[in-house]
Amino acid sequence: MRRNKPEKFLNGSKLIMSLIAIDVLSHGAIALVYAGKLVLLTVGLNMIYSVLKFSNFSHAEWITWGMFSSWWGLQILTFVIPWDASMGFIINNLFIQATFAFIMVGILGLLSEILVFGRLRKLKANPRSFTVASIGIGLVIRNLLAMVWGDFPTPISPPKLPFGLENIIKISITFTYRHPILGTQSINLTSFKIIIIVISIITVLFIDYLFKNTKFGIAMRATSDSIDLAQVSGINTKRIIFYTWFIAAGITGFGAAIVRATQGRFGSTDGFSMLLPIFAVVILGGVGAFRGGIISAFIIAYSREIAAIILTEFQKKPGGLEYAIEDLLGFTISFSPGYMDGIGFVVLILVLLFRPQGIFGSVEATRARV
């Protein structure tokens, strides 16, 4: 496609104009929420990685089960308790649902350890067997969920915060600002989205404190280094491992329930589609580095957002980045929005190639347990 000089100039200036007019605030807010979601959903994976030293692919199904079970809890409640509109916030209550999900997914994690992973560990199987087993568990759960609830259950109205918080405290931030050159800058954060951000930070700080400053945390880290040595020091490693699974899975379920509340629909493949970006966050931040996970979640979320901006607002059209690069270099690849998710994968590959311990992780964590 040959474009002549005036056309090129026009395209170039359109590009620069739209660059300036990006709704930075809005995109920034979206990425912030996405980062919060990532953090919530990655803490559990990080725990399992760090204490048990294998990639738990069934983590995807923890997320899915968290979404489904929170919805299921609601179903049971609505059926069992006769209610009317005024009881909405008791019945359709976010924290009740999330807590229920915590317990349900925690049980799933515990069962996986009792039935599968604990036995594999006794057999001294290598980490690859654990990973493949986790893939198998994921396959089973995914299809069981589809059999019970179908692939896309239709949720009813979004859940409410306890005690009618959203009526008492109007925690939503909406802000729009129009500027002649800078264009529209807006933020629209509803209460749920703010909750996600707040809870994710609290969760991370809590787990981090647990790992570093409590006796339990030291026991977890010791178990991760050497089960035998930990036992000989008096640590009941079996119990530590059980707790680790329950907490890691539970947190993931809790987070998934909250995430589900912000999404309209959810399906049996939701967890799996988020799996690789989640692994990217954990590995980029560093296994065992929970606070580092916040930073890596930000990096992944913001790079995805930037990629989204570049790919959508600047696609194949006059004034688009794709045309601009083609004009400059003579050729280009396509700026398809589908590449948006690819950012996470590319980050993952690069990190693993050049710095497998991530930003904050320790190199020991990348070695196998001896």
Partner 1 sequence: MNKPVLRAQNIKSGYGKLQVINGIDLQVNEKELLTIIGPNGSGKSTLIKSLIGLVELFEGRVFIRDKEVSHLRPHEIIESGIPLGYVPQLANVFPSLTIEENLKIGLFTKKWDDYYQKRIKDMFDLFPILEERIKQKASLLSGGERQMLALARALMPNPEILILDEPTAALAPNLAEDMFQLIISLKKTIGISIILVEQRAKRSMELSDRGIVLVTGRIAAEGPSNELLEEDTIKKLYLGVREKK
Partner 2 sequence: MKNKINKFVNRIKGHTELILGLSLALPIILLYLFGLMVTPRKTYMVISTSLVILVFFVGAISLDLEVGSVGLPNFGKVAFFAIGAYTSTLLYNYFGVPFPVAVVIALIVSSGFGYLISIPAVKLRADYFAIMTIAGGEVIRLILQYEQRWLWDPTTNTQTIANLFTARVSTSHPFNKYLSDFGITIFKDLGLGTIFIWELTLLIVFIIISILVYLFVQQIRKSPYGRTLRAIREDDITVTSVGKDVGKFRWQVTTVSAFIAGIAGVMYATLFNSLDATNFTPGLTFQLYYLIIIGGLGNSKGAFAGTTLVTLFLRGTAVREVQNTIKFSLDSDTPIIGSILQILQLELDVNPFNLRFVILGSMLIAFLLFKPAGLIPEPRIDNEKYLKLLTPEERLRSDEAVGVRQSLTEKERIEVEKTEESVL
**What's the token pair of residue 341?**
């998710």
Q: Which of 352, 359, 360, 362 binds partner 2 (CB under 8 A)?
A: 352
- Closest approach, Cβ 59 to partner 2, in A, equals 12
> What are 176's strand-pairing partners?
186
- 90 belongs to the binding site for partner 2 (CB under 8 A): no
Q: 225 contacts which partner out of partner 2, partner 1, none, CB within 5 to 8 A by kind?
A: partner 1
Sign of CA dihedral 239, 110, 218, 225: positive
**What's the token pair of residue 270?**
């939701």
Q: In terms of Cα–Cα distance, which of 141, 144, 101 is closest to 271?
A: 141
- Closest approach, Cβ 136 to partner 2, in A, equals 4
Q: Which is nearer to partner 2, 187 or 227 (CB)?
A: 227
- 142 belongs to the binding site for partner 2 (CB under 8 A): yes
Q: Which is nearer to partner 1, 13 or 233 (CB)?
A: 233
Question: Half-sphere exposure of 100 toward its Cβ, with a 13 Å CA cutoff?
Answer: 19
Using CB under 8 A as the binding criterion, the count of chain residues that bind partner 2 stands at 60
- Closest approach, Cβ 236 to partner 1, in A, equals 5
Q: 116 contacts which partner out of partner 1, partner 2, none, CB within 5 to 8 A by kind?
A: partner 2
Percent of the chain that is helix, strand, coil (3-state, to 5): 75, 5, 25
- 333 belongs to the binding site for partner 2 (CB under 8 A): yes
Which residues of this protein are in contact with partner 1, per CB under 8 A?
Answer: 215, 218-219, 221-222, 224-226, 228-237, 288, 362, 364-365, 370
Cα-based distances in Å from 241 to 51, 112, 246? 8, 12, 9
Q: Where are the alpha helices (DSSP H) in 214-341?
A: 215-225, 227-232, 237-262, 270-285, 290-308, 321-329
Q: 231 contacts which partner out of partner 2, partner 1, none, CB within 5 to 8 A by kind?
A: partner 1
